[in-house]
Amino acid sequence: MNQWQYLGTYTTDADGKVFVPIQKPEGEYQIRMVVEGDLSSVDGYLSVVSDNRKAVLFDIDGTLTLNDFESVGDYLGVDKADPHYFAKETVLAYKDKGYQIIYLTGRPYWVGKDSR
C-alpha cells in the first residue's frame, strides 16, 4: 500500500485493549492508531501470512544476545549488546528457508526504536 487507509473508530475495553477486525491480503503492514482526544498516536506492525506458513520465534535478550541485561548498556550508550556466536546466521538460515521471523522482547517501549 502506498497510502493510509482509515479503518474506523474503536473504543478500548476496561483493560485498555482494542480489537480491530482487519481483512488484508498477505503482506506486511504498518498500523497507526490515533487517540481522538489529544491526537497522540502509536505505530504497530501487522504480518498477514498464509495458514500453512512456517514461523520461528526468537527472544532477543539472553537468547540472540549474551544476557538479559545488555539492553541497559545499549540504552545508556555505555555498551553494545553482543550477539551469540552465529545468531545472525541462524536467523538468516530460517529466513532463507521461507520461515516468518518473529522477534520477542520484554524491553520497554522507550527502547523500541533502537531494538528494531
Please state the three-class secondary structure of the chain as a single string.
CCCCCCCCCCCCCCCCCCCCCCCCCCEEEEEEEECCCCCCEEEEEEEECCCCCCEEEEEHHHHHECCCCHHHHHHHCCCCCCECCCHHHHHHHHHHCCCEEEEECCCCHHHHHHHC
Per-residue pLDDT tens over the stretch 1-41: 678 889 999 998 998 888 898 888 888 889 999 999 999 99
pLDDT digits (tens, 9 = 90+) for 50-102: 888 898 888 776 666 655 555 555 555 655 666 667 888 989 999 999 998 88
Same domain, 2 and 59: no
- Amino acid letter, 80: K
Q: Mark whether 35 and 62 lie in a shared domain.
A: no
Domain count, the chain: 2
Is there a contact between 28 and 47 (Cβ–Cβ < 8 Å)? yes
**pLDDT, tens digit, 9 for 90 and up, residues 95-113:** 999 998 888 776 666 666 6
Same domain, 111 and 58: yes
18 lies in the same domain as 40: yes
- 30 and 59 share one domain: no
Range of the domain at 109: 50-115
Domain match, 96 and 55 both: yes
* Residues 41 and 63 occupy one common structural domain: no
Residues 54 and 80 in one domain: yes
**Same domain for 64 and 108:** yes
56 and 36 in a common domain: no
Whether residue 19 is found in the same domain as residue 58: no
